[in-house]
Amino acid sequence: MEAKQRFNCTCPIDYTGKYCEGYKWKSCKELFSNSSGITSGYFDIYDNNGNGFPTFCEFNSQEGISWTLVESFALRNRLQFQKPFYFDYPVNENYLQWDAFRLSLNRMKQLKNISTHFRATCNFPVNGITYTDYIRAKLSDIDLISYVHSCFNWEYFSVRGHSCSNCNALFAETEDLHPHTDSYFGPQKCLFKGQSNGAIYNEDNFGSYAPYNPTHACSSSDSAITQWWIGS
């Protein structure tokens, strides 16, 4: 009886599997666009070196945009996450934990270069997407991975339900500050009138949290969680 021939496939960098049948998707958008019937959930996507990493892909909240989770942290861990996105500061990037997770700078840049938007949300693992505390902007309007401290245009901006669309609000990211918005500073700095609706002086929203407001969903308790996403 003739022996069966054995073989091993050496796959190109963008493919995986016994027969190199699996493509290494580089974003949630690629995964969604090339998969039938796929729903939001945990997936491995791949960096430009062919290395996989876990993240959460969200497909349902906005038609035409798929979102890739790049960071998530609990308020109790805010000091650990007091770093701008242009610093290379991965946290549990190979094991997604909602209370402490962040991708490396290279992986964030890869996603940014093939994406159109970013957003920040609160308590997604518990409540999904809620728009009471939620911000979304175009990457062409705000460079998420650079030093910024100015008023910028937002597609949607809401803090404690005080919201506006295509409006101007303060966004800051410096060497010693995590990216965040400041909903207090209104007409004297930016067009968003944040002093109303329970704001406290100089409060930080969606990051930094020095000081923070307990009526903002992302900082409502030590276990409250902030998420940042890149999408296209």
Give the tens place of pLDDT for each residue, 136-171.
999 999 999 999 988 999 999 999 998 999 999 999
Residue 199's pLDDT is 79
Residue 78's pLDDT is 97
The number of angstroms, rounded, from the C-alpha of 170 to the middle of its chain's C-alpha atoms is 18
In a domain, 171, yes or no: yes
Domain that holds residue 210: 15-231
Residue 187's pLDDT is 54
Which of 123, 121, 116 is closest to 137 using CA atoms?
Answer: 116
Q: 3-class DSSP state for residue 183? A: coil
Residue 18's pLDDT is 56
Domain total of the chain = 1
In a domain, 130, yes or no: yes
pLDDT grade, residue 11 (50/70/90)? Answer: low
In a domain, 6, yes or no: no
Q: Is 1 exposed, middle or buried (0-12, 13-18, 19+ CB in 10 A)?
A: exposed
What does the block give as tokens for 131? 């728009």
Residue 37's pLDDT is 83
In a domain, 206, yes or no: yes
**Which of 15-19, 65-69, 77-81 has the least mean pLDDT?**
15-19
For residue 120, the one-letter residue type is: A
In a domain, 9, yes or no: no
Q: Determine how many CB atoms are found less than 10 A away from the CB of residue 116.
A: 14
In a domain, 2, yes or no: no
In a domain, 185, yes or no: yes
Classify strands 117-122 and 100-102 as parallel, antiparallel or unpaired. Answer: unpaired
In a domain, 186, yes or no: yes
DSSP secondary structure letters along 47-82? -TTS-EEEEEEE-SSSTT--EEEEEEEEGGGTTTT-
Indicate whether 35 pLDDT > 70: yes
Q: In the chain, what is the greatest distance between 2 CA atoms, to the nearest angstrom?
A: 87
Q: Determine how many CB atoms are found less than 10 A away from the CB of residue 29.
A: 24
pLDDT in tens, 98-135: 999 999 999 999 999 999 999 999 999 999 999 999 99
Q: Is 81 exposed, middle or buried (0-12, 13-18, 19+ CB in 10 A)?
A: buried
pLDDT grade, residue 24 (50/70/90)? Answer: confident
Residue 89's pLDDT is 97
Which of 204, 172, 168 is closest to 186 using CA atoms?
Answer: 168
